[in-house]
Amino acid sequence: MKPPTRLFIFDADNTLRRTTVPGKPCPHGPGEWELLPGVRERLGAVRWGGEGAWLGVASNQDQVAYGHLTAAMAQRLLADMVRAAVGEIAPAPCIRFCPHALEVPCACRKPAPGMLLEIMAHFGVAPAETLFVGDAPTDAEAARAAGVGFVWAWDFFGWGL
Ligand SMILES: [Mg+2]
Ligand SMILES: [Zn+2]
């Protein structure tokens, strides 16, 4: 029998949040994003912490490398997003992002599994107990490379097709 999910990891852009500024792939500052429909409701139904599940975020933020926002701002915006989605939960969510330029090889940018592996190590959770939710083929590929289950964001949040 498949063990219950102890760790949910989410992609950020177009999975939990969307940019409200046309032409920007991700927000560069506060007030440039909103939660996607159903996110607060769906995540509000999950029992977090303790005997429940833990939460991680794995996001490619190459806009940092191109100088559109600082790493500190990227971190802050992702933390704001998680707080808007689930409020304060314990243990604290584990947020990881890849700040590298697309032309720079690195171990963290999805489809590499680096961030997913780091988040699992952070919580001490096995791949079989972990689920990754994302909207891009690179998300699905990262999940496969990390050996964790994958669900498309529209299926997880019930957006339909
Ligand atoms: Mg995405
Ligand atoms: Zn990277």
What CATH number does residue 13 fall under?
3.40.50.1000
51: pLDDT confidence band, cut at 50, 70 and 90?
confident
Total domain count, the chain: 1
Q: Which two tokens stand for residue 44?
A: 């509000």
Q: For residue 3, is pLDDT > 90?
A: no
How far does residue 48's CA lie from ligand 1's centre (Å)? 23
Q: List the shell of residues around ion ligand 1, using CB closer than 5 Å.
A: 11, 13-14, 135-136
161: pLDDT confidence band, cut at 50, 70 and 90?
low
3 or 129, which is more confident: 129
Question: What pLDDT is attached to residue 149?
Answer: 98
Residue 150 β-bridge partners: 132
72: pLDDT confidence band, cut at 50, 70 and 90?
very high
d(CA 161, CA 145): 26
Q: For residue 43, is pLDDT > 80?
A: yes
Q: Within a domain: residue 84?
A: yes
Phi, psi of 49 (to 5 degrees): 75, 175
How far does residue 1's CA lie from ligand 1's centre (Å)? 30
Alpha helices in the chain (DSSP H): 39-44, 71-86, 114-123, 137-146, 153-157
Q: Within a domain: residue 1?
A: no
106-118 mean pLDDT: 97
d(CA 14, CA 61): 13
The string of pLDDT tens digits covering residues 8-28 is 999 999 999 999 999 888 999
Q: Which two tokens stand for residue 87?
A: 């409020």
**Looking at residue 111, what DSSP letter applies?**
T
Q: Within a domain: residue 134?
A: yes
Domain boundaries, position 93: 7-157
Alpha helices in 29-136 (DSSP H): 39-44, 71-86, 114-123
How far does residue 83's CA lie from ligand 1's centre (Å)? 18
Q: Within a domain: residue 81?
A: yes
How far does residue 98's CA lie from ligand 2's centre (Å)? 4
Q: For residue 1, is pLDDT > 80?
A: no
Q: Within a domain: residue 47?
A: yes
Question: What pLDDT is attached to residue 88?
Answer: 94
d(CA 113, CA 115): 6
Q: Within a domain: residue 111?
A: yes
The bridge status of strand 54-60 relative to strand 33-35 is unpaired
24 or 77, which is more confident: 77
How far does residue 9's CA lie from ligand 2's centre (Å)? 17
Residue 11 burial by CB count (10 A; 0-12/13-18/19+): exposed, middle or buried?
buried
Q: Within a domain: residue 137?
A: yes
Q: Within a domain: residue 78?
A: yes
